[in-house]
Amino acid sequence: MEGRRTDRLLWITSLLFVVWLVWVETSFQYFEGSLGSELRLHSAGVALVAGSFLLPYGLVQIPIGRLIDRGRVELWLLLAALAAACCSLVFASSDSLQGLLLSRIGTGMACAVVFPASAVLARRSLPENRFALAMGFTDGLLGIGAALAAMVPLLLGRSGWRDLVLLQGLVLSLIVALPMLLLGVRRSSSAVSTAGKQDTHGHRWTRAGVNRLIQCCLLYAWGLGFVFGMAQYGLLSSLRGWSNPLMEGLTLVMSIGLVVGMVGSGALGGRPENRGRLLLAGSVITLLSLLLLITPSLPRGVLMLPAFSFGVGIGSSVLAFPIAEAAAPAGQTAMTVSIVNTSGTVMGGLMTIVSGLILQASPQGDLSLVLLIYGALALFGVAMASWISFSSEPAGAAAIPSRPDAVQSRDSAAPGA
């Protein structure tokens, strides 16, 4: 019981790391102008710095996930927190493009540990039927991180971007690195490493499990394609001439709906038999909400309703994590979560570029390309949700031993369970 209690405290600390990650990544948009002016960077240089976080964050997750499954989760989180805090200090003191890029790349690589490590801790410390809710809650923390990014500059007053980045590094050290260090002392390293090795040996993927993983990757790519590509309403507001207050209001309502959709889907998706229906309902709601949002005759005051339902529908994509994890072999939670999350990150970056091209090619008021591309993406989501909903669950994907004496429980890696 002591081991599980420690794992739960570690999981809660990892959630603070998730909030910090979103805060850091989102806050860049609030000071990129002052950073570019102070260091005399062209817009291309500022954009390069902005994108230098996401690429390493997405690509490093899969190998990191495999290492996390085999080693001590709290040690990986501690090292990641220390590395990210140090990179924040380097970023705050940089006076060149090279320094900014290297520190942002380092921060992205360090933060790649957070999501898969948090998933492993949730899997260890919570009942099996709560894993879906844990993933929904973890993904839903993006709303809190985004709110911090918007509020902290207001609280700091006229303080520059260097002060903000220094504050972020200090906060990470206090709320994540220090608790991880203290909690790590309570754990027996030999017991944890042995449990990790026992849990990863003797199991392999089945063909049905791999197919399910591919389905979940495509589903999560659908969700994050909307989140990064269109859900902030920069695309629609530019083409339809929305005022800044309207765009900000719609973005806020959509963000609230996204959190509600993620947490609600996680709560209702604790029972595997509910997940297919939730996915299908969410994808259909997303499609209908999109059609309403691009309808020219819809009054602006009414737009808040489809904005909310749009976020709720997209939020159902978080069920890709528990569905994929249920089909994975025992002891591969971190790697499975990493693969699914990376697919969404890559798709999000791709759709961000696509939205920029749509803006470049479309005259004011012309939403034909939006309807064509994002309508096709919405239909793709309905197709993927239907495919998952009506296909059978992989049988025995998590317990295929390579030798007879390797059969173990999925929860054998939970110390003190």
Complete DSSP assignment for 230-296: TTTSHHHHHHHT--HHHHHHHHHHHHHHHHHHHHHHHHHTTSHHHHHHHHHHHHHHHHHHHHHHT-T
For residues 302 and 323, membership in a common domain is answered with: yes
Q: Which residue has the higher pLDDT, 90 or 144?
A: 90
Q: What is the pLDDT of residue 2?
A: 61
Among 83-87, 244-248, 256-260, 411-415, name the one with the lowest average pLDDT.
Answer: 411-415
**Cβ atoms < 10 Å from Cβ of 363:** 6
Q: Does the structure show a pLDDT above 60 at 341?
A: yes
In this prediction, residue 403 has a pLDDT band, given cuts at 50, 70 and 90, of: very low
In this prediction, residue 295 has a pLDDT band, given cuts at 50, 70 and 90, of: confident
Token readout for 373 is 């591309």
Angle, helix 304-315 to helix 272-293, in steps of 10 degrees: 150
CATH at 114: 1.20.1250.20
Over residues 311-324, the pLDDT tens digits come to 999 999 999 999 99
Q: What is the pLDDT of residue 219?
A: 96
In this prediction, residue 369 has a pLDDT band, given cuts at 50, 70 and 90, of: very high
For residues 13 and 151, membership in a common domain is answered with: yes
For residues 100 and 129, membership in a common domain is answered with: yes
Q: What is the pLDDT of residue 37?
A: 87
For residues 6 and 32, membership in a common domain is answered with: yes
Please identify, among 165, 185, 200, the residue that sits at the C-terminal boundary of a domain.
200
In a domain, 409, yes or no: no
Q: Does the structure show a pLDDT above 90 at 252?
A: no
In a domain, 417, yes or no: no
Mean pLDDT of 21-44: 86
Token readout for 48 is 């390069």
Mean pLDDT of 44-65: 86
Token readout for 380 is 């793709």
∠ CA 362-364-367, nearest 5°, is 60
For residues 161 and 25, membership in a common domain is answered with: yes
Q: What is the pLDDT of residue 175?
A: 93
Q: Does the structure show a pLDDT above 90 at 229?
A: no
In a domain, 334, yes or no: yes
Q: What is the pLDDT of residue 158?
A: 57
In this prediction, residue 143 has a pLDDT band, given cuts at 50, 70 and 90, of: confident
CB neighbour list of residue 207: distance below 8 Å, 6 or more residues apart: none
In this prediction, residue 159 has a pLDDT band, given cuts at 50, 70 and 90, of: low
In a domain, 127, yes or no: yes
Please identify, among 144, 173, 200, the residue that sits at the C-terminal boundary of a domain.
200
The Cα 32–Cα 50 span in angstroms is: 8
Contact 374, 157 (CB under 8 A): no
- Structural domain including 380 reads 207-390
Q: Does the structure show a pLDDT above 90 at 308?
A: yes
C-alpha neighbours within 13 Å on the C-beta side of residue 33 = 1
Q: Which residue has the higher pLDDT, 171 or 352?
A: 171
Please identify, among 173, 200, 227, the residue that sits at the C-terminal boundary of a domain.
200
In this prediction, residue 13 has a pLDDT band, given cuts at 50, 70 and 90, of: very high
In this prediction, residue 44 has a pLDDT band, given cuts at 50, 70 and 90, of: confident
Contact 97, 44 (CB under 8 A): no
Among 125-134, 244-253, 403-412, name the one with the lowest average pLDDT.
Answer: 403-412
Mean pLDDT of 198-203: 50
Mean pLDDT of 215-219: 96
Q: In the chain, what percentage of residues exceed pLDDT 90? A: 48
The Cα 148–Cα 190 span in angstroms is: 39
Q: Does the structure show a pLDDT above 60 at 342?
A: yes
**Cβ atoms < 10 Å from Cβ of 288:** 15
Q: What is the pLDDT of residue 187?
A: 59
In a domain, 138, yes or no: yes
Q: How many structural domains does the chain have?
A: 2
Report which listed range, 128-132, 336-340, 395-399, is most confident. Answer: 336-340
Q: What is the mean pLDDT of the chain?
A: 85
In this prediction, residue 3 has a pLDDT band, given cuts at 50, 70 and 90, of: low
The DSSP line for 111-173 is HTTHHHHHHHHHHHHS-GGGHHHHHHHHHHTHHHHHHHHHHHHHHHTT--HHHHHHHHHHHHI
For residues 186 and 50, membership in a common domain is answered with: yes
The Cα 344–Cα 373 span in angstroms is: 17
Mean pLDDT of 200-214: 81
The Cα 229–Cα 222 span in angstroms is: 10
In a domain, 17, yes or no: yes
In a domain, 331, yes or no: yes
* Residues paired with 401 in a beta bridge: 203
In a domain, 354, yes or no: yes
The Cα 117–Cα 81 span in angstroms is: 12
Q: Does the structure show a pLDDT above 60 at 370?
A: yes
Among 216-220, 299-303, 370-374, 400-404, name the one with the lowest average pLDDT.
Answer: 400-404
